[in-house]
Amino acid sequence: MIPLIKGQRKSKYDYRDNLPVNMTAVASQIEGDTGYLLAHDGLTEFAQTSGVARGGYFNERLNNHFRVSGNSLESIGTDGSIETLGSIAGQGTVSFAESFNSLAIVAGGKYYLYDAAGLQEVISPNLGVPIDITWFSGIYVMTDGEYLFNTDLQDETEIRVLDYVSSEFASDPIKGLLRTDSNQIVAFNRYSTEYFYFNANSDVNASPLQVIPGKSNRIGIVGTHCKCFLDGAIFILGGRKDESPSIHILSGANEATIATREIDKILGEYTESELSGAVLEDRTVDRDKFLLVHLPRHTLLYNHTVGQQQGAAAAWTFIKTNENDTWRGIYGVFDPRISKWVYGDRLENKLGYLDQQSFAQYDEAQEALIYTPIIPAKRVSINQIQLDTIAGYSDPAISVAMSISYDAVTWGEEHWTVVSKPDNYNTNYIIRRLGFVAQSFSLRFRFISKDKMAFSGLTINDR
């Protein structure tokens, strides 16, 4: 049985991984293998927005789905209707937080509040230029990159100068904030991470934010949105001083790296300035816990469930849209009112929901790629290959193209074979008489479809 979870290729002076494209690794015992590859869920149009996606949030207190699209704060109805609530000028990703009474947004260095009275920009001489925000024990906590500061317990529009505190574990700038499940604040600096708790007994002239002694890490993030919370841990894009950025998991004072060598190679193609604009987000579907890493020229998908069971090397894939190397969906929000993941869009002013019944993105067929490792086969003839799949559910039929590389650099001519016809559930993907192999070979499989496909084991018969 030949693994399909990742392939291999030769590049200049090095061996590199060929990651699956638009296929998701799934951990399951299938026909003697420990997992299989399933086509990534499609996107189906849900709503038309007033501008490019900048962020999304479901406010549990207000039981509403909010979006910042272009320069507008929008309320998203369960039927896809859009209500514009006010103006939030600027560009780039925004930060959201919620209290018992309001929704807070930090965008373009400004602090906004939305409540029963409507949307307002908070103007305060003590505000500064906030870059991130979270909610913590009755107060909004923000950072301007140098200090942490918070709103008054009695007034969310009031910020006292006495409520400023710095992250003093290291002198590097603060990049972002996050609240943990244990109700602690995490301040992410560029090369360090520090934890704070709410001290209800603090002096009236001091900040209620107090450092937790001994709970710090000498590792940080490269940008404000390069962190997210998933499966009880914090996932970050960043690193230590004097080392290249990578992708790590933080759990308390402990850390672990989940990026493979190939992922680090991809990250190494970017400058730190480019990486600072990356967005990390989480998604949990059918008990599979996913990390999405939105980079300027790539979208990486990590299945944390597979990574825990089979190691990080089996858990990474690319997802993309058409000829782009990035996936158009971004800022996913699970809306419990409709039980769907809803995503903003990088390309158009629209929202789409994640569609488990489709591979298409807004009714456009998408491309998927699967690779094998380099297979040693000195002076043998390949009689037959068989790729296990689930056939019969596509409409119309789906064909898969197979191509061979004998040097792990270039690919030969594609050979197309029908693998799935409507209601024909016993179709097998078999190709015979592939020919003579002098030393080694690798295979690539490609299909373009609106329907999903799943592939598990690959068997090769030679003589």
Helix-then-strand count for the chain, H and E? 3, 41
Q: Choose between 277 and 454: higher pLDDT.
A: 277
pLDDT for res 32: 66
* Distant-in-sequence contacts of 260-269, Cβ < 8 A, 24+ apart: 260/17, 260/312, 260/313, 260/316, 261/17, 262/6, 262/16, 262/17, 262/19, 262/316, 263/300, 263/316, 265/16, 266/295, 266/298, 266/300, 267/237, 267/295, 268/244, 269/297
Residues 244 and 259: their CA atoms lie apart, in Å, by: 12
Burial 84-109 (b: 16+ CB within 10 A, else e): ebeebeeeebbbbbbbeebbbbbbbe
pLDDT tens digits for range 109-148: 999 999 999 999 999 988 989 999 999 988 999 999 998 9
Strands 454-462 and 33-39: antiparallel
**Are 330 and 343 spatial neighbours (Cβ–Cβ below 8 Å)?**
yes
pLDDT for res 459: 83
pLDDT for res 80: 98
Cβ-based neighbour number of residue 378 at 10 Å? 8
CATH architecture assignment, domain 7-40+368-462: Sandwich (2.60)
Q: Find the mean pLDDT for residues 315-322.
A: 97
DSSP state of 421: B
pLDDT for res 163: 56
Question: CA torsion sign, 258 to 263 to 265 to 271?
Answer: negative
**Whether the predicted model's global pTM rises above the 0.85 cut:** yes
Q: Please state the domain extents for the chain.
A: 7-40+368-462
pLDDT tens digits for range 364-399: 999 999 999 998 888 888 877 888 888 777 778 889
Strands 440-449 and 110-115: unpaired
pLDDT for res 161: 65
Phi, psi for 460 (deg, rounded to 5): -130, 130
